[in-house]
Structure 1
Amino acid sequence: MGMMRLLMLQLLLLVVEPTPPVSPAPIRSAHSLALLRARDECGKGLTPDQRHQLDKMQFEDAPHVRQYLHCFWSRLQLWLDETGFQAQRIIQSFGGERRLNVEQALPVINGCNAKTSSRGLGAQAAVDWCFRAFVCVMSTPVGEWYKRHMSDVINGNA
């Protein structure tokens, strides 16, 4: 009887022994999901190497980069061909004062819009303007913040 009781206890311990906790997948914010969707949609025609370069935040002056950036920012509704980057919406979309230095970001984005503005007609002028304005922003501390943030989004940390 003692041996049977011992076996029952061991069996019971096996059944109720807790399993190691499983780490849940990180919960992504709606903003991060929107960034990833825009990235995927606009990157459909890219080669794996081109996609890798963009993911590494390397934005060469090439037609595929210009098209990708215009698509990405337009899809997020943060770029309008008539007025350029929507600075206030970008700041709100990227977390506002909690995440960005608004006093720095607002004039940088608006300044790059103005400095690089294209008054030409046609879709290509808007694509070129978007690229030039983006490169301008990327050369500032706001661009450095954007690179870190996008890297976190791409790597599942935001």
Structure 2
Amino acid sequence: MTFVRMLILMPLLLSLLAKCGPLALPPPPPPPTPSARSAQSLAILRARDQCFRSERISPNQRLALDRQQYSNVPYVHRYVYCFWTRLQLWHDGTGFDPMRIVESFGGPRRLNLEQTVPAINGCNAHARRSARTALDWCYGAFVCVLRTTVGDWYRHHMQDVINGNA
């Protein structure tokens, strides 16, 4: 009968030792906390919000811009120009600065230089020919870039920034 009692008590004893004894497992790690936004993401959000205020963008217009609907209307031209100049990635004399854009958006590990630089430079040149003002040029070059693979990356990245995932 002692043997039968030992068989019954053995699982209980082992369970108790696993919880309390030297064989006890450490508690599971806490769930990961959301990572802090990068300095670049914070700069993007700051520039975006400052331009919404300074250009007096209405809530409906802001929603359209957050949905990345860049229609060819004056408030969008003003917003695009404000946003890129605040980030210091647009210059009235030279247009978009492709190397600074690459550096600001994560470097060559995030953006393919062989695609990014020619796309941005080509859009700068194309839009400059038909633009009357710096705002028109900036807007034209921006929507041109949006039609490239760089634009696809930009749209995804901006959604991540807006949603707090970057």
TM-score by length of 2: 0.77
State which structure, 1 or 2, has the greater radius of gyration over its C-alpha atoms.
2
1:150 aligned partner: 158
Q: Give the one of 40, 43, 49 matched to 2:52.
A: 43
Q: Using the TM superposition, give the Cα deviation of residue 118 of structure 1 relative to its aligned residue in structure 2, in angstroms.
A: 5.0
Query: Counterparts in 2 of 1:50-65, with a 5 A limit?
Result: 50-65=61-76
Query: What SS does structure 1 have at the residue aligned with 2:108?
Result: helix
1:94 aligned partner: 105
1:81 aligned partner: 92
Q: Which has the higher contact order (CA 8 A, sep 6+)?
A: 1
Is it true that 1:125 corresponds to 2:133 in the alignment? yes
The C-alpha deviation readout for 1:73-111, integer Å capped at 9, x for no partner, is: 000000001110011100111111111111000000001
Q: Using the TM superposition, give the Cα deviation of residue 143 of structure 1 relative to its aligned residue in structure 2, in angstroms.
A: 0.2
Q: Give the one of 24, 27, 31 matched to 2:40.
A: 31
Q: Using the TM superposition, give the Cα deviation of residue 65 of structure 1 relative to its aligned residue in structure 2, in angstroms.
A: 0.3
2:82 aligned partner: 71
RMSD: 1.9
The C-alpha deviation readout for 1:48-85, integer Å capped at 9, x for no partner, is: 11101111111000101000000000000000011100
State whether residues 118 and 126 of structure 1, in contact with CA within 8 Å, keep that contact through their aligned partners in structure 2: no
Identity of aligned residues (%): 57
TM-score by length of 1: 0.81
Q: Using the TM superposition, give the Cα deviation of residue 139 of structure 1 relative to its aligned residue in structure 2, in angstroms.
A: 0.6
Q: Using the TM superposition, give the Cα deviation of residue 35 of structure 1 relative to its aligned residue in structure 2, in angstroms.
A: 0.1
Moved over 6 A (4+): none
Number of aligned positions between the proteins? 137
